[in-house]
Structure 1
């Protein structure tokens, strides 16, 4: 992987809390145009690492680079403007707005007019066409005028992805996108992530190994804050150290 292929990388990224090291000298490289999964047992440091990358936490030491630029000391709003968008950051899912209105709000944020409350609602109609295109992209075109609170959980997650896409991310960070879903919703959202990944880069924290196996190009396994293994699913799932970390026994990681 040459430097032109890397969209996000870290150098010895470390975060300690009162003597406890949650992320320990992590050197992560995310290839442009890939789906990269960050996995690990509970307490491995996945969420802390995500919070460092999206600037909700400041590292104790180490560096973060996006497109070769040092963003270590930037604020969440600054990196969002650069195109690093975390799903929940802008998941403008308001329960009493329609599906279309939710996406339109996210598009309005992209225009920088989100605080123009005095403008008439009709002034937002120019955004309808793009909002409808995004709803088609995430498979919600039949729910355009549905009040969001009436959506099934999996479709609400699809709407969150639509609002994320509305911000035109260069790098999407998805935090446990299938958490709490039934089998049918997991399949639907997994297929959706795979579809919207075309021409984009996705870094995701995910616990469901079936999801990882089916769509991730590369996997980084964390254990106790450090990188335990890295590579494609087949290689990582057969790594004895990974099997031991997940299962405590020498069987292939499949769940």
Structure 2
């Protein structure tokens, strides 16, 4: 009997008051792969991420992790199972140092975030691991730098380090190179490649050059549904994919699915 896919969706659907943002999506993520989810603006990519991590509740369908149905679980339980995500915007504490940001993530992972009776010195035992994580993303020399003083690319690297502090089995990266110049993009590509060793990565990414360098498999979404899937050579040669990308406005504006998602989240 073959091992089940590490992460799988079956007929996943998300509707917002009659609007179908995610339509019958079937994903099969193989263990150890870097798998990209791509598509034009409004294709539903971030909505799928939010469904996988239970920031949104599916209207219908199933989410399976190592063959087990995790659809009923809440976000915290999903994270404890080892499915950890980053976000499109940098999600670090701007007025803490880089090391302190990592230490907060480690405290959360160890379950000591609310141990207010403990001395602050008790946190120093985490510093060695903090430095290992900072070194892994090239930030060791910035350990005592306040995060707000870091360049944008380094903030994203710090966010990756805080995500790795949770020791994920599956790393979900939502547009890790968004808003970066070419030098920072190249750095993040190498960081993702390093972070992927020994784990599975699912990433949303607009930069097709990044996708071509990193990804084993690619799923293309269009209007909330799977358009095609395969390796980069197969997907990039598909005339439907070319038509979808040529027809997108490329303006960076969020499409209808994300607008509906935001409206739902605000309620």
Q: TM-score range by the shorter chain?
A: over 0.9
Aligned pair count reads 247
Matched, 1:70 2:34: no
Conservation of the 8 A alpha-carbon contact between 2:4 and 2:67:
no
Q: What is residue 117 of structure 1 aligned with on the other side?
A: 116
Which residue matches 1:126?
125
Distance in 2, matches of 1:184 and 1:205, equals: 20
Structure-2 change in CA distance of 1:3 and 1:64 (3 Å): farther
1:47-74 CA distance string (max 9 Å, x none): 1111111101111111000111101111
Counterpart secondary structure, 2:32: coil
Deviation (angstroms), 1:4: 1.4
Secondary structure of 1:42 counterpart: coil
User: C-alpha deviations, 1:10-39, integer Å up to 9, x for none?
Assistant: 110011111111111111001111111000
- Structure 2 SS opposite 1:62: strand
Q: Which has the higher contact order (CA 8 A, sep 6+)?
A: 2
SS in 2 for 1:11: strand
- Map of 2:192 onto structure 1: 193
Residue 143 of structure 2: aligned partner = 144
Mapped to 2, the partners of 1:3 and 1:111 lie a distance apart of: 34
Is 2:2 the partner of 1:22?
A: no
Q: Which runs of 5+ in 2 are unaligned?
A: 249-267
| CA deviation after TM superposition for structure 1 residue 88, in Å | 3.7
Q: Which residue of 2 aligns with 1:44?
A: 43
1:245 maps to 2:248: no
Q: Distance in 2 between matches of 1:131 and 1:3?
A: 38
What's the offset of the Cα at 1:5? 5.4
Could you say which residue in structure 2 is the equivalent of 1:211? 210
The aligned counterpart of 2:134 is 135
Counterpart of 2:117 in 1: which secondary structure?
A: coil
Measured in 2, the distance between the counterparts of 1:111 and 1:64 equals: 26
What is residue 58 of structure 2 aligned with on the other side? 59
1:71-127 CA-partner distances (Å, limit 9, x unpaired): 1111000111111111149x7621121111111111111110001233222101111
Shift of 1:216: 0.8
Aligned to 1:101: 100
- Is the 8 Å Cα contact of residues 4 and 66 (structure 2) preserved in structure 1? no
SS of structure 2 residue aligned to 1:4: coil
Distance 1:222 1:239 in 2: 13
Q: Which residue of 2 aligns with 1:169?
A: 168
Which one is further off, 150-159 or 183-192?
183-192
Taking the aligned partners of 1:5 and 1:140, their CA distance within structure 2 comes to: 37
SS at match of 2:12: strand
TM-score of the pair, normalised by structure 2: 0.89
**2:182 corresponds to:** 183
SS where residue 6 of structure 1 aligns?
coil
Deviations 1:107-166 (A, max 9, x none): 111110001233222101111111111111111111111111110000000000000000
Query: TM-score, normalized by length of structure 1?
Result: 0.93
Give the conservation status (yes or no) of the 8 Å contact 1:92–1:105.
no
CA change 1:113–1:7 in 2 (3 A) is same
Q: Do the aligned partners of 1:103 and 1:162 also contact (CA within 8 Å) in 2? A: yes
Structure 1 residue 248: Cα displacement: 4.1
Residue 229 of structure 1 corresponds to which residue in structure 2?
228
